[in-house]
Amino acid sequence: MRRIVPALAASSFLLASAAPAAAALKTAVFAGGCFWSAEKAMEHVPGVRNVVSGYAGGASRNPNYQNHAGHLEAVKVTYDPSKVSYAQLTDAFFHNIDPTDGGGQICDRGPSYRTAVFVADGAERKTAEAVKAQVSRTLKKPVATEIRPAAAFWPAEAYHQDFARKNPINYNAYRIGCGRDARIKAVWAGR
């Protein structure tokens, strides 16, 4: 029994120290046009732990790909703020879209493909607005990306999750056909 008590105490300590690390993770929601492309881009940001494709900003409950009117295609990013700040994450988001396009993104046109940063509180709003202002100064153009209050995030269907990784041929055909890389490069060239 005496040997079990120290072992249990050590196990409890390890579990207790692991819990705060997991609790320290934060989430952010961004709408960047096609959620496949936004997911792929945000997954490569250092400090990002997980990215989920979905829908945000609309009034209906449980939207799906066939019926998500009023919602934007969005991604929910889980990140470690000790490795990437909210400002850095938001800046990375802006550098993977054309923030001057108010009608969608590249070849994806229409209301559900508009861009937005969904902010959870005043601090996030202040940061997002500062990043947006810096992007506008850098590009020397108005930025169409909206800063919106946080809204319910609804995960997209399973076949949309990790689409670029699971379906590289289809995803790359879409990305090349859309001209996404060329457009992003043109927007951000030398900046």
For residues 120 and 124, give the distance between their C-alpha atoms in angstroms, rounded to a whole number.
Answer: 6
- Please check the confidence at residue 52 and state whether its pLDDT lies above 50: yes
How much is the pLDDT for 191? 76
Note the pTM of the prediction, 2 decimals: 0.86
- Please check the confidence at residue 4 and state whether its pLDDT lies above 90: no
Tens-place pLDDT, residues 175-191 = 999 999 999 999 999 77
Tens-place pLDDT, residues 151-163 = 999 999 999 999 9
Q: Are strands 115-119 and 146-149 parallel, antiparallel or unpaired?
A: parallel
Confirm if 118 and 146 have CB atoms less than 8 A apart: no
Query: Could you list the active site residues?
Result: 34
- Please check the confidence at residue 19 and state whether its pLDDT lies above 60: no
Q: In the predicted model, what is the mean pLDDT of residues 121-137?
A: 98
Percent over 70 (pLDDT), the chain: 88
- Please check the confidence at residue 15 and state whether its pLDDT lies above 50: no
